[in-house]
Structure 1
Amino acid sequence: MMLVTVLLLAAGLLGAVVLAGGLWWLLARRRDAKADDIATPSASNASTAHASPSPSPIAPAPSPVAPLQQPVPPPAAQTLQIEPPPMRPLLRRMYAAVMATPSLAEGTLPTDPAQAEVLAAVAAALEQVDLRPQLLPRRPHLLPQLMRAVNDPDASGRGIAAIIAQDPALAANLLRIANSALYRPQGGPLESLERAVVHIGTEGVRQIVAAAVMQPVLSLDGGLYSRLPAAVWDYALRTATAAAAYLRERGGDTLSGQLAGLLQGLGAIVILRVLRDTYAERRGVPYNLEVAAALVERHTAAVAKTIATAWDLPPQLGTALDEQRPEHDTSLLATPLGLALRYGRLAAALAMLARHGAEHEDHALGILATLQPDSDANAALWQRLVAASVE
């Protein structure tokens, strides 16, 4: 009995020990778990603190943005003209090249007092040229009739031929040009004026007639005074051709464009005649190209307008000529005929420079594009202007 009691007590003691050990083990596990819970966030916080000072990621700073700029055109576009150049420097270059006198490009005047007197005397005479009709050329007697005929859509070739036949020199010139390589007649030479007029067309007649009726008026004596007038007339012919072409593209009056260009040449010839006579009165004073070029530059437009008025030509011709004065060199022209004449002068000067090796075709066509955007029309005209003759 006692043994049983002892065994029961031992079993109870052992159970208590086991129970106590189990409780101790459970308490230790809970203590370790709490320690792990405390240690883990600390380590995490420490790691985060080393990685970044902020709990959220920081976006990278944006790169600096350049200020907005205008698009840069390609290199070729940077060299294009946006407006036509002034005529005076261009014409000075032209006369310098044509006359093989580089000093003309500078526009300077001689310091010789005798030359200054010549310049002043001619300028004074030209200021009153309208009061001295003997200085002005007489109007070609067929000009009014021909202007009406070639601008009349109902005019026949026979009627125009009848007018031209009144002037034997004009008739011969028309036949010569109608049979030239430019028009290449088929079936043998043209011998009648009527056939010639029909063959070359009204437009051809306009150009030929305008130049032909002016030619006798524009003639000057040869010798010392012939070189500059020849250059002036050459320039006038090319100006007239280009001005007429400009108006043709726009359905304008091509004959007025032709006449405007030729009247510019006629005005310059009048100036050179007055200069020639002034030098003749001063035997000891040599002819000076700088003086001649300066007078032509300053007075051509005014004298040409005076001639147009004296000849009772349409008022728009006088207005267009007036717009070519030096003081309007950089002005925006108001009239279609004035703009056509400016284009003609520009094209003619560039072409004459090119003919003397002082201008490149690409550059010249770029300049012409400032007044005529049709590149094909400019290119076709350019080939005519740089030819040996524009008749």
Structure 2
Amino acid sequence: MFKKLIDRFFHRSPGPLVPDEDLALNPLTVLAVEPPEPVEMIDIDNLFFPWLLGMGTGVADGMNDAENRLLRTLKRVADADDPATADLVPRIPSVIPLLLRSLRDRNVSNSQLAEQVSQDAVLVAAVLKQVNSSYYRRASAVKTIEEAIAVIGQNGLRMLVAGVAFQPLFNAGLGHFTGQGAPRVWELSEPYGVACRHFAKVRRVDGFEAFLAGLLQGVGVIVALRVIDQAGGAAPGELRSLDFQSSFAHYARRLACVIGKQWEFPEQAIAAIDRSGPASALASTVRAADRVGKIRVLVRHGMLRTDLAEVCLEESGATACYKEILAMEDAQERSAA
């Protein structure tokens, strides 16, 4: 038992083997292929994905029949590269693609953006709520969209609009794993957004593209959960293997890339979550923000002790970023009081 705890907290689980493409797959084949990574003091994904799938902790045992069956299904859907995969999540409002395209135009005016935002009442409410929160410390209330954009800036608007647009995708659960996991994935988006802004400044990359990549990565997880539900799922607690959870994360990213292409996302954002390509500053930003966001969510739910989280943050140089997330949460609590 002690050895398993040591393996879990201080080492990565054994990496999956690369299958020969010419050989028939069998139930004992681990399908996901992950590139080697430096050993981390604590593998945050080995804590996050068991929690996401309803397991308190993952185990280093081999995969069971249900896990092998579901991985074969995930692989088949991901390999198909079918545009219909995007139908597994609700479609985003029609005004959003237009607005996102405008937001990527550095020459667009605040008045043009205000006109487009005003077409969607949900966006209007979200923008005004955000800009009037204690986080911005306004002496008087902001009442117009154009004034709000002047306060939060175009980049702030980009990230806010993207978050509002994607939120419905994480609300509708059509099965056990989707219903349980989707809200948990969405909870990651807020600390992830703060971390994106922090690391984007450090690495001098487009924070909006990093945020989009993270949202898209979350959509891939939702699609993977829905594939599992449609395939018959598994009994509660059956998806316990760390090898399965690592493979699940791999196929979720591949599915996210399929959807990103279908939705005409920026190529840089898609490449940032596709780990098979060359490393980039944007990809590094996405992974750093993803890690810190997961640490915060795990601490919040008692899945990671605060002292261990502090060690993880020191090891990754992310302490300042984590403090920004805590400041944001504190401002939200004051606004709600």
Query: Shorter-chain-normalised TM-score: which range?
Result: 0.7 to 0.9
Determine what percentage of the aligned residue pairs are the same residue: 24
**What secondary structure, in the 3-state scheme, does the structure 2 residue paired with 1:181 have?**
coil
Q: Is this contact kept in 1: 2:71–2:248, CA < 8 A?
A: no
Q: 1:216 to 1:294 in 2, by over 3 A?
A: same
Give the corresponding residue for 2:321: 378
Aligned partner letter, 1:365: L
Q: Equivalent of 2:183, from 230, 234, 237?
A: 230
Number of matched residues? Answer: 289
Structure 2: give runs of 5+ residues left out of the alignment.
1-36
Residue in 1 aligned with 2:57? Answer: 103
Q: 1:89 aligns with which of 43, 53, 57?
A: 43
CA RMSD of aligned residues (A): 3.4
Letter in 2 for 1:266: V
Return closer, same or farther for 1:322/1:160 CA change in 2, 3 Å cut-off.
same
Q: 2:117 touches 2:123 (CA, 8 Å); kept in 1? A: yes
The equivalent residue for 1:210 is 162
Partners in 1 of 2:43 and 2:322 — Cα distance? 24
Q: Indicate conservation of the 8 Å contact 1:157/1:197, yes or no.
A: yes
Match of 2:269, as an amino acid? L
Q: Is the 8 A contact 1:150 1:206 kept in 2?
A: yes
Worse-superposed segment, 119-128 or 377-386? 377-386
Query: Secondary structure in 1 aligned to 2:231?
Result: helix
2:16 alignment partner in structure 1:
none
Q: Secondary structure at the match of 1:270?
A: helix
How far is the alpha carbon of 1:84 from its aligned partner? 6.1
**By how many angstroms is 1:302 displaced?**
0.8
1:302-321 equivalences in 2 (<5 Å): 302-321=254-273
Report the CA distance shift for 1:171/1:268 in structure 2 as closer, same or farther (over 3 A). same
Counterpart for residue 341 of structure 1: 286
Give 1:363 deviation, angstroms: 1.0
- Matches of 1:235 and 1:100, distance apart in 2: 16
Q: What amino acid sits opposite 2:280 in the alignment?
A: T
Question: Which amino acid in structure 2 is aligned with residue 381 of structure 1?
Answer: E
Q: Select which of 285, 300, 305 maps to 1:358.
A: 305
Match of 2:235 among 268, 277, 286: 286
Matched residue type, 1:220? A
The amino acid of 1:362's aligned partner reads E
Q: Which of 89, 98, 121 is the matching residue for 1:145? A: 98
Displacement of 1:218 in angstroms is 2.5
| C-alpha contact (below 8 Å) 1:123/1:295 kept by paired residues | no
**What is the TM-score when the length of structure 2 is the normalising length?**
0.72
Equivalent positions of 1:258-277 (< 5 A) are 258-277=211-230
C-alpha change, 1:223 and 1:354, in structure 2 (3 Å) is same
Give structure 1 stretches of 5+ with no counterpart: 1-82
Relative distance call for 1:99 and 1:308 in structure 2 (3 A) is: closer
Could you tell me whether the CA contact under 8 Å between 1:107 and 1:294 is conserved in 2? Answer: no
SS in structure 1 at match of 2:222: helix
For residues 99-131 of structure 1, the C-alpha deviation after alignment (integer angstroms, 9 at most, x for no partner) is 773332x254663x4554344334322332425
- Give 1:199 deviation, angstroms: 2.4
The answer to whether the aligner puts 1:162 opposite 2:162 as a matched pair is no
Q: Is the 8 A contact 1:147 1:255 kept in 2?
A: no
CA distance in 2, matches of 1:277, 1:342: 29
* Counterparts of 1:98 and 1:249, CA distance in 2: 30
Amino acid of the residue matched to residue 310 of structure 2? D
The equivalent residue for 1:3 is: none
Partner of 2:76: 124
The 8 Å contact of residues 239 and 348 in structure 1, kept in 2 or not, is answered as: yes
Amino acid of the structure 2 residue aligned with 1:322? D
Q: Deviations over 1:1-58 (max 9, x none)?
A: xxxxxxxxxxxxxxxxxxxxxxxxxxxxxxxxxxxxxxxxxxxxxxxxxxxxxxxxxx
How far apart are residue 91 of structure 1 and its match? 0.8
TM-score by length of structure 1 reads 0.63
1:241 aligns with 2:189: no
Decide whether the 8 Å contact of 1:235 with 1:348 is kept in 2.
yes
Higher relative contact order (CA 8 A, sep 6+): 2
Following superposition, the deviation at residue 177 of structure 1 comes to: 1.8
1:158 counterpart letter in structure 2: S
State the 1:233 CA deviation. Answer: 1.9
Residue identity in the other structure for 1:301:
R
> Is the CA contact (8 Å cut-off) linking 1:126 and 1:303 kept in structure 2?
yes
Query: What is the alpha-carbon distance in structure 2 between the residues aligned to residue 98 and residue 351 of structure 1?
Result: 14
